Structure 1
Amino acid sequence: MTFKLYICKKMNSRGNVEISLRFRHGKIDQQSCTNLWIKPIFVVRESFADDGGNESSDYVLKLPDDGVRPGDVADYRVTVDSLARLKAYIEDSFCMMRRRTVEAGWLAETIERFHADEIPRLEEERTEVLGLIDAYMEITSVMDASESRAEAYALMRRSLARYEAHRRIKFPRFRLMSGRMNESCLRDIEKFMRKEHLMVRKYPQISQGAGLEGRTRPKGPNTINDRMKLLKAVMTWGVKTRRIPSNPFDTFVSGQNVYGTPVYLTLDERRRVELHDFSYDPRLALQRDIFIFQCCVGCRVSDLMLLTTGNVVDGELNYVARKTREGRPVTIKVPLNRTAKIILERYADHDRDTLFPAVYSRMGYNRVIKDILRLAGITRKVVVIDPLTREAVCRRLYEVASSHMARRTFIGNIFKKFKDQNLVSELSGHAPGSHAFARYREIDTELKREMVAAID
């Protein structure tokens, strides 16, 4: 059996390249990345004459005579030592197979098993990814952020914990270590997230433990991309705070999110909901009024549930959006229209500090909104992008309703009347030139007619 070294072209953030190993024995010929990294100055290509007298060349690892920092020399020796142990491990694994069929992917699987069985030798490799996520959530402002943002990080961590538990079924000593993460590992995590709901059903044990229980639903590409972005934020923070040496996302290209044209209530539809008689169910009447108020001020639900009477000053709603208060804290001021003022007066209570009585959780609020629109007869058909398949599908408006539809209703109707992004951004809190705002901008039929009429 023979081994041959190859060097991958991509570099990580430390300027190292990954070593690829080729294993040959008889008709068996497999090659795989090793997750061992080295600086290019230690890689030399040497020429030699093969058994047939033909000139050939191989990559070898060599220590230059001078011009190398002591720290780099230490890393070189660690890599060379790890590579020698890896080759011995592969040889032992091959001999233990006793001439059984070697399937495709055997070498990559053996290398992964080697890393899972190895005791981490570098201090930075001892940083467990789950521990890094916990530290990030505790030290940064995640826990003080909006409910949806904190929940997003918690869900991302849960997926990573389940991934680690799933890998441990095959490799009992597997740990997800930051020093061993690379592009192939991140792709494997993405692949697991796509099938996480199926894996939980097939291997219930990966969903056992504190924080791992709960319903697991199929995830669309946008959801997976968003979770990988959150993981990237954690790894970037780890590098900046010197908790880990390099960022595996430096060579990782994530997918692009795909969004359809936002759908929202017209002013006529909003008034139908506002005037619908819900006197038979005070719960629905309260939730309807809160939804209509949100349609009139355009705030996110995370801000809506924290509004107090102190946020209303001289007939104007003043608040700082929780989503942007860390990076771009801007006070958003929205004058209250007649409808919003009537709703506030209806629920005014000097013994209560919040604008409205207690409401359901964010998810409960979303479910009630669907019921409210359905009962009010808002059944217009709209074309939306299916989050799982990314195919265009036709749905009733109430079926795709949520608290964020109130924000879209506010933005969409104002822009439809005034067609000025800068003015609308002052009321919505979007940054100038925001890509997110562009999704709200719908060039409707009326605007198209005006554009064509302008050149008549």
Structure 2
Amino acid sequence: MATQVDFKVSTGLFIDAIHWDKDVPGYSAKSNAPKEVKQEFNRQVDELLKLVNENIQEGFTKEWLARLINEYFHPDNKQQEEEKEKPAKVWGTSFFERTEQYLEEAKGGTSHKGAIMAIFRRLERYEAWQREIMGNSSFELRTETFGRKLLLDFMKYIEHEYTYYTKYPDFYSRFKIYRQTMRPSSKNSACSGGTRLKAFLNWCVKKGYADDLTFQEVNTHRHVYGDAYYLLPEERDRLIDATYGCSFHAPLVRDMFLFQCFVGCRMGDLFTIQRTQINNGWLEYIPGKNLKNGNTELVRLPLHPVAQQILERYAEYSPRLFPAISESQYNEYIKMILDFAGVHRKVTVLNPLTRKEEQRPICDIATSHTARKTFIANLYNKVKDQELVASLTGHSPNSRAFARYRTIDDNIKSELINNLK
């Protein structure tokens, strides 16, 4: 459309006058600037001109033009403005409508939302259980009246739900709960469920949806963990030369497990890290669990010679570190490779259901996470510096969870006392 108005608005694009060709408009074909720079600049100018010509109207202003250009370069800002302009969503007042609102409005990483959704699904089963199995036909969860007694009862339900399932499988089949998906829950699971539910209830208090504050009296931080168990250096090294006949998966799992023992990454990261993340003998990655929770801090560590030798054997599978294998298969084979290598030392573990100590051969209970604990514990025994070890594992320097990965053994205690001399 023809117009006599001449507005000047900054786009943020920059080009030296010696490269400018008004007939393009953009970089001239004779410019010696890098090809990709010229292409990207000219593309943006062309798109901007088309955008203006498609949207321009009689009587447009300089402010309108500036906003249009800003929306082109910052589309997220436009989306946020549109969200603000939308009328506020009207939420229902039932308990489970409040849970939907919480999931949409509350902050938290993907892992937290997944865990709280599991609690909300369990609450749905709990409500139906009270009505149909316990005979409380008028029972209804309400945020206004969810207090101490109800929270404690729900936590007890979490502990016993598997037993209930075995007695009433038809009831639970309505919720698509079957034998392959239902597992016994420990007291730790009940405490975790209570903690997540309290977070939701505290949110309800802030929103003015809850009147009964007695739920805050419930102590949900009663988790109990046994001492950390891990492979000793000599047990770990016994795997290096272990042989497994003509099996393909056993040597592969041995190498993957050993790699973890010398790197300390989680299984999820082991399966996703690519060889392009290894430069000059250093591995660089952002732990997937941290990334889900908004932590983008990079973990950077030098590869141990054993880890480097292992990777060389699987170079043909690049960009992956190793051939594909399922997580369940990996964990099952770990037990086998330790058993065949003669790693049978008995360790004391805490039964999560009974909370009583038991003696078990380490080969029977080892998982991929045992490799991570082996890396952490053996390093900590050498340096006695949590912050230093945490820099190689992705833990925060003052992580409380770190204590579950190492033990203060007799050697550390002896060295400590010797310092008194």
TM-score (norm 1): 0.64
Q: Distance in 2 between matches of 1:246 and 1:205?
A: 36
Q: Report 1 or 2 for greater relative contact order, CA contacts < 8 Å, sequence distance ≥ 6.
A: 2
Q: How does 1:115-154 map to 2 (within 5 A)?
A: 126-129=93-96, 131-133=97-99, 144-145=110-111, 152-153=115-116
The 3-state SS of whatever aligns with 2:119 is helix
Aligned equivalents of 1:139 and 1:313: distance in 2?
41
The alignment status of 1:340 with 2:307, answered yes or no, reads: yes
Question: Which residue of structure 2 lines up, in the alignment, with residue 61 of structure 1?
Answer: none
SS of the residue corresponding to residue 239 of structure 2 reads: helix
Question: Residues 375 and 140 of structure 1: is their aligned pair in 2 closer, same or farther, counting only changes over 3 Å?
Answer: farther
Q: Are 1:291 and 2:257 matched, yes or no?
A: yes
Question: Does 2:197 match 1:231?
Answer: yes
Distance of 2:116 and 2:247 partners within structure 1:
36
Once the two structures are superposed, residues 185-217 of structure 1 have per-residue CA deviations (whole angstroms, 9 ceiling, x without a partner) of 111111111211111122223312354334433
> For 1:414 and 1:329, how far apart are their aligned partners in 2?
24
Aligned partner of 1:222: which letter?
N
| 2:332 aligned with 1:396 | no
Q: Deviations over 1:79-132 (max 9, x none)?
A: xxxxxxxxxxxxxxxxxxxxxxxxxxxxxxxxxxxxxxxxxxxx9883333x55
Q: In the TM superposition, what are the counterparts of 1:65-84 in structure 2 within 5 Å? A: none
For the residue of structure 1 that corresponds to 2:348, the secondary structure is strand
- What is the TM-score of this pair, normalised by structure 2? 0.69
Is the contact between residue 126 and residue 179 of structure 1 (CA under 8 Å) also seen in structure 2?
A: no
Where does 1:372-411 land on structure 2 (aligned, <5 Å)?
Answer: 372-411=337-376
Residue 395 of structure 2 corresponds to 430
Aligned counterpart for 2:129 among listed residues 161, 166, 175? 166
Aligned counterpart, 1:253: 219
Aligned-pair identity in percent equals 35
**8 A contact 1:127–1:243 mirrored in 2:** no
5+ residue gaps, structure 2: 1-89
Structure 1 Cα separation of the partners of residues 208 and 336 of structure 2: 48
Quote the residue 1:193 is aligned against.
Answer: 158
Q: Is the 8 A contact 1:127 1:244 kept in 2?
A: no
Q: Name the amino acid aligned to 1:202.
A: K
Contact preservation (8 Å) 1:158, 1:212: no
1:415 maps to what in 2? 380
Higher normalized helix content (fraction of residues):
2
The change in CA–CA distance for 1:307 and 1:157 in structure 2 (over 3 A counts) is: farther
Does the C-alpha gap of structure 1 residues 420 and 228 become closer, same or farther in structure 2, counting only changes over 3 Å?
Answer: same
* Counterpart-to-counterpart distance in 2, 1:144 and 1:200: 28
Q: Which structure: greater strand fraction?
A: 1
Give the distance between the partners of 2:217 and 2:98, measured in 1 at CA.
Answer: 20
- Deviation, structure 1 residue 404: 1.2
Contact 1:125/1:178, CA 8 A, preserved across alignment: no
Provide the rounded CA distance (Å) in 2 between the counterparts of 1:310 and 1:133.
42
SS of the equivalent of 1:222 reads helix
Distance 2:218 2:321 in 1: 45
Q: Partners of 1:239 and 1:303 in 2: how far apart?
A: 38
CA contact (8 A) 1:373 1:398 kept: yes
Query: 1:132 and 1:290, CA in 2 relative to 1: closer, same or farther beyond 3 A?
Result: farther
Alignment of 1:211-226 (within 5 A): 211-214=176-179, 215-226=181-192
Q: How many residues of Structure 1 are paired with residues of Structure 2 in the alignment?
A: 327
Identify the range of structure 1 (150-159 vs 257-266) with the bigger mean alpha-carbon deviation.
Answer: 150-159
Is 1:263 matched with 2:244? no
